[in-house]
């Protein structure tokens, strides 16, 4: 099918879908969740074959996928997310002030690119799709070629929900194909109004460049690259090194490191405690058995990157696991000095897999320099006791400028789907640090504020009518009321 026909269908469906009530859209999202749940067993089996991910992980990911669909359904049923603001007319003022009302409305058809490392939660019916449908946008999904059958099965579940819910036939469409041509055509098409992407820096940057080349540029919300620096403060290392080594060995090698929140850089001050931690962490990582990666391309990229990282000047291998077999990752821990890290940009690049680099700093000034040399991140982690956090407030403040999520004494792997979550960060972690791809506020990527001035009540959307028929929280003359 031609891209133009796909986008024409998406635009036509949008003209109908945009006017569905919150209750109807919520029921549609719940129907998608139910249809996926009904196919759980074949979906998990297919994804296991295509991705090498273990069955418990995939079952958990389906639960996450259906739960976030239900979460967005709850959000739009409650309704306050539209941010309705009303400033009533003041005809007696000088000059007279008109009635002005504002809310968020959907932008139009959006294109969502499935991710390779999450065949459910960040793919066909993942967070980008769920949040866009919640906003009232129609969706064209570019299925990831690493798991085409899984993506197709999930799309069939969505199609079933479209029929049972009475949604427009092309509310969601599914496009497949190898290479970049189809993706570029979808982004460049004049009817596309936004793009969601989770993947490599190269892929996300290419989509951003395509969008900028259009006659009418559009936003690209791409989550791309992060090494998620962890700072181990002195008292924590002196008192908890054995426990911390086990915790972070698990985090580094979880899912063979195939998470965008994998802790890739571990920073600490030179000390006997740091040396003990490095030894214990290396031993724990060496004990992790190699496992198959998502697909051949990711495994080859990891092998190549790992070899390159370990041959960089002043980088030393601390320890590694047993020699892997075909398609398996080779977990490893390396170390370097702050001085070497500061002069070598290659050490700041993400290596997607079970690898982490210890950066040893001689003093506080070097530690601050290392942090300030880093690009934008999805996460940064503080590992410290109360004594550490009281003494190192200035450094912790620097950490908070780096990332969308700042974590205290937890590993960064694991992203909770909730209203408060921020899964985003300054470039190159994402293309727009003002937004998140996880959590209910992800819906804001697919809407725009629209102001209605001097409209009669019957002309207004329900969210802005005087009687507030939806019963939502609104800001009326600078006061939040129902």
As annotated, the active-site residues are 223, 260
Beta-bridge partner residues of 379 = 405
Contacts of 240 (CB under 8 A, 6+ apart): 385
Q: Sign of torsion, CA 229 234 235 236?
A: positive
Structure tokens that stand for 54 in this block:
């273990």
Return the C-alpha torsion angle 332, 337, 343, 346, nearest 10: 0
Three-state DSSP state, 318 = strand
Residues 6+ apart with CB under 8 A from 4: 189
- The answer to whether 231 touches 382, Cβ cutoff 8 Å, is yes
Q: What are 456's two structure tokens?
A: 């009669």
Rounded to whole angstroms, the Cα distance separating 256 from 247 reads 15
Q: How many CB atoms lie within 10 A of CB 480?
A: 10
Burial of 101-112, coded b for 16+ CB within 10 Å and e otherwise, reads bbbbbbbbbbbb
CA distance 474 to 481: 6
DSSP string, 206-260: HHHHHHHHSSS---EEEE------EEE-HHHHHHHHHHHHHHHHHHHHGGGG-ST
Residue 15: Cβ within 10 Å count: 11
Spatial CA neighbour of 34 closest among 160, 153, 216: 160
Which residues have C-beta within 8 Å of that of residue 223, sequence separation ≥ 6?
A: 197, 198, 199, 204, 260, 378, 423, 424, 429, 430, 437
Taking the CA of residue 114 as centre, how many other CA atoms within 13 Å lie in the half-sphere pointing to its CB?
Answer: 30
Number of Cα atoms under 13 Å in the Cβ half of residue 125: 36
Which backbone phi and psi does 173 adopt, to 5 degrees? Answer: -125, 160
Q: Which residue has 């620097």 as its token pair?
A: 398
User: And the tokens for 23?
Assistant: 């209750």
**55 token code pair:** 């069955």
Distance, in Å, from the CA atom of 414 to the CA atom of 245, rounded to the nearest integer, reads 18
């Amino acid at each position: 099918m031609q891209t133009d026909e796909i986008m024409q269908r998406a635009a036509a469906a949008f003209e109908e879908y945009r006017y569905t009530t919150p209750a109807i859209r919520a029921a549609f999202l719940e129907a998608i969740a139910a249809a996926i749940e009904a196919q759980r067993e074949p979906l998990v089996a297919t994804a296991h074959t295509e991705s090498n991910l273990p069955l418990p992980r995939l079952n958990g990911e389906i639960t996450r996928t259906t739960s976030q669909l239900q979460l967005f359904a709850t959000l739009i049923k409650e309704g306050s997310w539209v941010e309705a603001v009303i400033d009533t007319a003041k005809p007696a003022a000088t000059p007279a002030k008109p009635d002005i009302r504002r809310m968020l409305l959907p932008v139009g058809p959006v294109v969502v690119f499935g991710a390779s490392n999450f065949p459910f939660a960040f793919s066909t019916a993942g967070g980008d799709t769920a949040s866009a449908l919640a906003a009232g946008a129609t969706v064209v999904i570019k299925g990831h070629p690493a798991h085409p059958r899984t993506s197709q099965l999930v799309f069939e579940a969505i199609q079933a929900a479209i029929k049972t819910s009475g949604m427009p036939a092309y509310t969601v469409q599914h496009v497949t194909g190898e290479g970049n041509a189809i993706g570029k055509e979808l982004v460049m098409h004049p009817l596309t109004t936004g793009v969601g992407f989770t993947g490599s820096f190269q892929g996300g940057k290419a989509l951003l460049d395509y969008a900028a080349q259009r006659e009418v540029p559009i936003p690209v919300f791409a989550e791309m690259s992060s090494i998620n620096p962890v700072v181990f403060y002195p008292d924590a290392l002196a008192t908890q090194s054995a426990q911390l080594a086990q915790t972070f060995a698990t985090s580094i090698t979880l899912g063979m490191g195939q998470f965008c929140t994998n802790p890739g850089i571990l920073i600490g001050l030179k000390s006997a405690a740091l040396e003990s931690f490095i030894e214990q962490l290396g031993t724990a990582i060496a004990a992790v058995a190699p496992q198959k990666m998502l697909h051949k391309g990711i495994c080859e990229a990891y092998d190549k990157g790992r070899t390159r990282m370990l041959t960089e000047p002043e980088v030393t291998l601390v320890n590694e696991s047993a020699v892997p077999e075909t398609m398996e990752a080779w977990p490893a821990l390396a170390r370097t000095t702050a001085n070497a890290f500061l002069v070598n940009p290659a050490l700041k690049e993400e290596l997607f897999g079970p690898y982490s680099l210890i950066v040893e700093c001689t003093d506080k000034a070097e530690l601050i320099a290392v942090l300030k040399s880093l690009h934008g991140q999805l996460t940064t982690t503080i590992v410290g006791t109360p004594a550490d956090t009281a003494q190192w407030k200035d450094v912790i403040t620097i950490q908070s400028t780096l990332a969308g999520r700042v974590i205290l004494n937890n590993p960064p792997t694991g992203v909770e789907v909730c209203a408060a979550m921020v899964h985003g960060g300054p470039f190159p972690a994402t293309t727009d640090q003002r937004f998140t791809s996880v959590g209910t506020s992800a819906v804001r990527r697919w809407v725009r504020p629209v102001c209605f001035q001097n409209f009669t009540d019957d002309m207004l959307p329900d969210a802005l009518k005087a009687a507030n028929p939806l019963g939502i929280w609104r800001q009326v003359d600078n006061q939040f009321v129902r």
